[in-house]
């Protein structure tokens, strides 16, 4: 019986297909500033995958964010118009491209507008060729940006001792992230080769395990995890720890490189839960991570262990990987008498997030393999994990669901 659930990614075919614009960009032409006859038909014929819409307004105030690119007119002799455009550009930076067609253009104003974020400034009257070349350049830039965003993030959990709640936070945060409408795929990869329990925490029957991945042989980076992994009902894909104990040395840095490359290709966010030990491959995993979540509890021994982990990150020259410091299971009345303030002082940096203790709710969610909200809505711990998901979600996703970061 084959235990290999993976389809290999096919090698590139010899005859490459004709290049295609990957995204259907939406372009708004603000007609009042653009003269009598903007070439909408010509542009639609030239860029068939792009949607061009003529708008009867100099600027589509509320609808602006429904466009990827706005083409607007400007009269260089109209100071009030220049001020309005400057203010609008500042609200668009990084979200909407703006191509300005300017009457009586001068070099100084052109440079100023570009500096303020305009994608390009063309002097009016603009020829069809000049417009097409400028648009092609902007679309290429948008295409590249979208392609780069498709390279997902590896977020690795690091513990200040066993039982701090790392696996619980990984699965609950993943479920929360997967609920975002714009989510491009969320995965939990349990690399805790001996004690991993992420698939149990999500109650995934018969999950694909790391042991199966390793037994499959061949290049891990060629495996299609997006199609092979089983998903929780929330949509979170899970790469489970082996069913039987495996030696920690079953993984190595090269395998970690392949695995992280494949997971970044297949998922927008992968939360990785490694074993507590430091080895060459866990070191490589941290190096390959875009973020580390360092989870601790509020006690004197845990504060010491956080310091030890932060020192280790520094000693391993991993201190350029951003660390989000989380204090989990914080009781209303600290049993040890240690205050958050004292703990932060001892650690030398503030906690980025404090997650309250709610043993009963967390146990119920884990036992049923569901989200905290499915057990009980509106708890403090659910709100805190929501904040963690907001910190980790790619900017575009949070914008899509209208959440503040
Ligand atoms: N905020 C919380 N409030 C109450 N209980 C929690 C909280 N977070 C986690 N727990 C509980 O703590 C226990 C340990 O959690 P978990 O297994 O996630 O920790 P871990 O750090 O992954 O441990 P290990 O070192 O074994 O991998 C579980 O029983 C879980 O229900
Ligand atoms: Mg764990």
What are the pLDDT tens digits along the chain (405 aa)? Answer: 333 445 544 444 433 333 455 567 899 999 988 877 778 888 999 999 899 999 999 999 878 878 889 999 999 999 999 999 988 887 776 678 999 999 998 999 998 898 778 899 999 988 889 999 999 999 988 877 666 556 899 999 999 999 999 999 999 999 999 998 778 899 999 999 999 999 999 999 999 999 999 999 888 988 999 999 999 999 999 999 999 999 999 999 989 999 999 999 999 999 999 999 999 999 999 999 999 999 999 999 999 999 999 999 999 989 888 999 999 999 987 777 899 999 999 999 999 999 999 999 999 999 999 999 999 999 999 999 999 999 998 754 444 444 333
For 4-11, which contacts have Cβ atoms below 8 Å and span 24 or more sequence positions? 4/212, 4/215, 4/216, 5/208, 5/212, 5/228, 6/213, 6/216, 6/223, 6/224, 6/225, 6/228, 7/223, 7/224, 7/227, 7/228, 8/218, 8/222, 8/223, 8/224, 9/222, 9/223, 9/224
Q: Which of 113, 74, 116 is nearest to 93 (CA)?
A: 116
d(Cα 239, Cα 231) in Å, to the nearest integer? Answer: 9
Instruction: Compute the distance between CA of residue 30 and CA of residue 38 in angstroms, rounded to an integer.
Output: 10
From 171, 176, 362, mutation site for ligand 1 pocket: most ligand atoms within 8 A of C-beta: 362
Q: Which pLDDT value is given to residue 146?
A: 66
Question: 197: closest CA among 159, 173, 231, 171?
Answer: 171
Element (H, E) at 109: helix 107-115
How far separated are the first and last CA of the chain, in Å rounded?
Answer: 48
* Residues ≥6 apart with Cβ < 8 Å to 348: 307, 310
| Among 158, 161, 167, 168, residue to substitute to test ligand 1 (most atoms within 8 Å of Cβ) | 168
Does this model's pTM top 0.75? no
What pLDDT is recorded for position 183? 80
pLDDT of residue 184: 81
CB 360 less than 6 A from any atom of ligand 1: no
Q: Is the CB of 380 under 6 A from ligand 1?
A: no
* Residue 88 near ligand 1, beta carbon < 6 Å: no
Q: Going by CA atoms, what residue is nearest to atom 28 of ligand 1?
A: 165
Give the residue whose CA is nearest to atom 4 of ligand 1.
359
Side-chain-side CA neighbours of 98 within 13 Å: the count stands at 29
Domain ranges of the chain: 6-147, 153-404
Q: Is 191 in the pocket of ligand 1 (CB under 6 A)?
A: no
Place of tokens 């900017």: 395
Q: Report the alpha-carbon distance of residue 264 to residue 176 in Å, rounded.
A: 19
**SS3 call for 129:** helix
Examine domains 6-147 and 153-404 and report if their fold is the same.
yes
Q: CATH for 6-147?
A: 3.40.50.2300
313 near 292, Cβ under 8 Å? yes
Query: Is 381 touching ligand 1 by the criterion CB < 6 Å?
Result: yes
| CB neighbourhood size of 92 (10 A) | 18
Q: Is CATH 3.40.50.2300 the right assignment for the domain spanning 153-404?
A: no
The pLDDT assigned to 320 comes to 85
Residue 218's pLDDT is 80
């Amino acid at each position: 019986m084959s235990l290999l659930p993976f389809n290999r990614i096919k090698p590139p075919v010899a005859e490459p297909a004709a290049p295609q614009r990957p995204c259907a960009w939406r372009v708004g032409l603000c007609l009042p500033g653009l003269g009598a006859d903007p070439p909408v038909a010509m542009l639609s014929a030239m860029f068939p995958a792009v949607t061009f819409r003529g708008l009867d307004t100099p600027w589509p105030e509320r609808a602006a964010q429904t466009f990827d690119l706005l083409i607007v007119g400007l009269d260089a002799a109209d100071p009030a118009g220049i001020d309005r455009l400057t203010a609008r550009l500042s609200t668009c930076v990084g979200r909407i491209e703006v191509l300005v067609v300017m009457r009586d253009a001068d070099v100084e104003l052109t440079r100023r507008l570009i500096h303020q974020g305009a994608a390009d400034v063309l002097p009016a009257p603009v020829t069809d060729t000049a417009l097409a070349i400028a648009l092609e350049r902007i679309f290429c830039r948008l295409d590249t940006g979208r392609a780069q965003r498709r390279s997902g993030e590896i977020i690795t959990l690091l513990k200040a001792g066993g039982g701090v709640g790392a696996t619980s936070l990984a699965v609950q945060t993943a479920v929360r992230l997967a609920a975002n409408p714009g989510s491009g795929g969320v995965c939990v990869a349990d690399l805790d080769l001996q004690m991993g329990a992420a698939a149990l925490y999500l109650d995934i029957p018969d999950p694909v395990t790391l042991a199966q991945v390793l037994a499959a042989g061949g290049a891990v980076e060629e495996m299609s995890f997006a199609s092979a992994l089983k998903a929780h009902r929330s949509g979170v894909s899970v790469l489970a720890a082996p069913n039987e104990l495996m030696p920690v040395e079953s993984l190595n840095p090269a395998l970690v490189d392949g695995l992280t490359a494949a997971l970044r290709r297949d998922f927008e966010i992968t939360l990785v839960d490694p074993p507590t030990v430091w080895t060459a491959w866990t070191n490589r995993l941290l190096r390959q991570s875009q973020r580390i979540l360092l989870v601790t509890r509020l006690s004197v021994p845990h504060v010491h262990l956080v310091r030890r982990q932060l020192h280790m990150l520094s000693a391993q020259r991993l201190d350029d990987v951003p660390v989000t410091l989380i204090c989990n299971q914080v009781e209303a009345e600290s049993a040890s008498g240690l205050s958050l303030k004292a703990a932060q002082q001892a650690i030398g940096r503030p906690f980025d997030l404090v997650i309250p203790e709610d043993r009963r709710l967390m146990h119920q969610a884990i036992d049923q393999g569901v989200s905290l909200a499915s057990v009980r809505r509106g708890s403090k711990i659910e709100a805190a994990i929501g904040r963690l998901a907001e910190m980790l979600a790619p900017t575009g996703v949070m914008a899509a669901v209208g959440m503040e970061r």
